[in-house]
Amino acid sequence: MKLPGKLSKRTRSLRFRLTISYVVFFSLLLGSVGVLFRQALVSLLDRQARALLEEEWAAVNGYLRFERRRQHEWFYDPTDQEDAAIVERLRRYFLLTDAEGNVMEASNAYRVLGVEKPNEVRTALRSSRVEWKTRRASNGEPYLVRAGLLHDDRRRAYFMAIALPLAENERTVEGFTVNYFVLLPVMILASSLLGWFLAGRALRPLHDVSKTAQNITGSNLDLRIVPRGSGDELDHLIETFNRMMERLAASFEQIRQFSTDVSHELRTPLTAIRGQLEVALFTARTPEQYREAMVNALEDVERLGQIVKALLLLSQSESGQLALQKSAVELSSLVLDVVDQFQIPAEAAQVNLTAELPEPCTVQADRIQIERLVSNLLSNAIKYTGPGGRVSVRLRREAEEVLLEVEDNGQGIPAGDLPHIFDRFYRVQSAEHSPEKGLGLGLSFVAWIAKAHGGRVEVASVPGEGSRFLIRLPQGDGADRIEGALA
């Protein structure tokens, strides 16, 4: 059977399930307590009844005398009213037989319970054990019977039984049972209401969290839930949620910034290409003029291509699809080649670029990626070092590692930006920075390539004095495949 939507939603709710577990637990507890109490009451009343019958048995012994065989007598002072009353009470449920089961005295009340047959008497005498039995009178009322052996002065055996009505005890137990188990559903109902209320109260902050979460969209990521200050699990959840929101907001901001930057970056070469083509179309006359316009357009197409390539590479490295093509790479000559390539741009920027590469050192690495790493570091160093500055590249070996150092005396990086420069799309926002706009991806690649080779990047920078990037690469084998190394 399928519950209607609203009801089934409610029955699946945590509040409902908490209440149900609470009620089930409480019912089981109350039920078992009730059963245990009832049993305790029954056994207490039973013990009391037996103790009373024991007392009466002893009293009967005190009052009975046997003159000769099969002749007994109640020995008491009939003028003593108290004595007479006691004896009368003792004889109310009373049976006395000789060893063969011949009745010597039997009260009417005892006869109603059923006098023991001679063979029962004989068996009882043979076993000589005290017998406890519960008998019911014809009207259904219960009695406790104590039966057993009795001797006279000459060691002649008799069978005696006395009884005690248990109706009162039974009514007490019944009264307790009825009252308790009638009250039980009321208690369970009250406990379920209490459970429902308490579970609702405990879960209210969760509703606040889910309500806030529902209201969150890309445009209001600054929403936060106010912790209640109780320091409990829910506060912990709220704090975790808020921290997650902070991270999400930061990522969203980065992505937003990135989209703006990418469109900006793409627009500049596109506008230039369009301008050059229009000029060629409307004003060029000679083949040289056409050629010049096409060469300029091609340069911008080249830049466009680089941007698209960087984006593609980034998405591949992010999704772990990029496998390193490792081979033995001689780092000294590789770095020297890259430094040579950067001499012309360095001269153009009036930066003195030098390299200190004392010894050849070979590592297992992906040549293309290591070239990209050195290029990114060098292009940054040149870009962010003004005319007259110095950039130096050093390579050395230390223990199990190869250290590549790119140092400049350029503008440096503010301390607040330093922890973020390896984040994707992160660029230092300041007027003197970015003489030439980048995508903020260069250092992300540097960090990713180092990590993919089992190494890491360290940076030290003082604003106004310069920066030093240190790459540590292990000489042994690094990681072969990069699973989200950028993340």
Compute the least distance from the CB of residue 359 to ligand ADP, in Å.
26
**Smaller CB separation from ligand ADP, 191 or 444:** 444
Using the contact rule CB under 6 A, the part of the chain among 37-45, 273-281, 325-333, 407-415 near ligand ADP is 407-415
Is 389 a binding residue for ligand ADP by CB under 6 A? The answer is: no
- The whole-angstrom separation of Cα 30 and Cα 25 is 9
Compute the least distance from the CB of residue 456 to ligand ADP, in Å.
16
Q: Return the bridge partners of 461, or none.
A: 467
The Cα angle at residue 151 between residues 149 and 154, in degrees rounded to 5: 155
- The whole-angstrom separation of Cα 302 and Cα 375 is 17
Is 428 a binding residue for ligand ADP by CB under 6 A? The answer is: yes
Which residue among 60, 166, 310, 443 contacts ligand ADP (CB under 6 A)?
A: 443
- The whole-angstrom separation of Cα 135 and Cα 115 is 11
Under rule CB under 6 A, how many of the chain's residues touch ligand ADP?
A: 23
Residue 321 backbone phi and psi in degrees, to 5: -85, -10
- The whole-angstrom separation of Cα 54 and Cα 77 is 23
Which residue among 413, 450, 485, 486 contacts ligand ADP (CB under 6 A)?
A: 413
Using the contact rule CB under 6 A, the part of the chain among 181-189, 253-261, 331-339, 374-382 near ligand ADP is 374-382
- The whole-angstrom separation of Cα 1 and Cα 16 is 19
Compute the least distance from the CB of residue 428 to ligand ADP, in Å.
3
Is 478 a binding residue for ligand ADP by CB under 6 A? The answer is: no
**Smaller CB separation from ligand ADP, 338 or 413:** 413
Is 381 a binding residue for ligand ADP by CB under 6 A? The answer is: yes
Q: Which residue is at the shortest CB distance from ligand ADP?
A: 438
Which residue among 389, 442, 455, 478 contacts ligand ADP (CB under 6 A)?
A: 442
Which residue among 439, 471, 482, 485 contacts ligand ADP (CB under 6 A)?
A: 439
Which residue among 38, 70, 433, 472 contacts ligand ADP (CB under 6 A)?
A: 433
Which residue among 380, 404, 450, 485 contacts ligand ADP (CB under 6 A)?
A: 380
**Smaller CB separation from ligand ADP, 33 or 462:** 462
Closest CA to 486 of 449, 455, 436: 449
Is 335 a binding residue for ligand ADP by CB under 6 A? The answer is: no
Q: How far is residue 256 CA from its own chain's centroid?
A: 34
**Smaller CB separation from ligand ADP, 158 or 258:** 258
Which residue among 161, 467, 473, 485 contacts ligand ADP (CB under 6 A)?
A: 467
Using the contact rule CB under 6 A, the part of the chain among 29-37, 41-49, 287-295, 420-428 near ligand ADP is 420-428
Cβ-proximal residues to 363 (8 Å cutoff; 6+ apart), any chain: 328, 329, 331, 402, 453, 473, 474, 475
**Smaller CB separation from ligand ADP, 199 or 457:** 457
Is 427 a binding residue for ligand ADP by CB under 6 A? The answer is: yes
Compute the least distance from the CB of residue 358 to ligand ADP, in Å.
23
Is 408 a binding residue for ligand ADP by CB under 6 A? The answer is: yes
Compute the least distance from the CB of residue 300 to ligand ADP, in Å.
18
Is 438 a binding residue for ligand ADP by CB under 6 A? The answer is: yes
The Cα angle at residue 298 between residues 295 and 302, in degrees rounded to 5: 140
Q: What is the torsion angle, in degrees rounded to the nearest 10, for the CA atoms of residue 31, residue 33, residue 39 and residue 44?
A: -150
Q: How far is CA 175 from CA 60, 141, 323, in A?
A: 33, 16, 83
Question: Which stretches of the chain bind ligand ADP, using CB under 6 A?
Answer: 376, 380-381, 384, 408, 410-413, 421, 426-428, 433-434, 438-444, 467
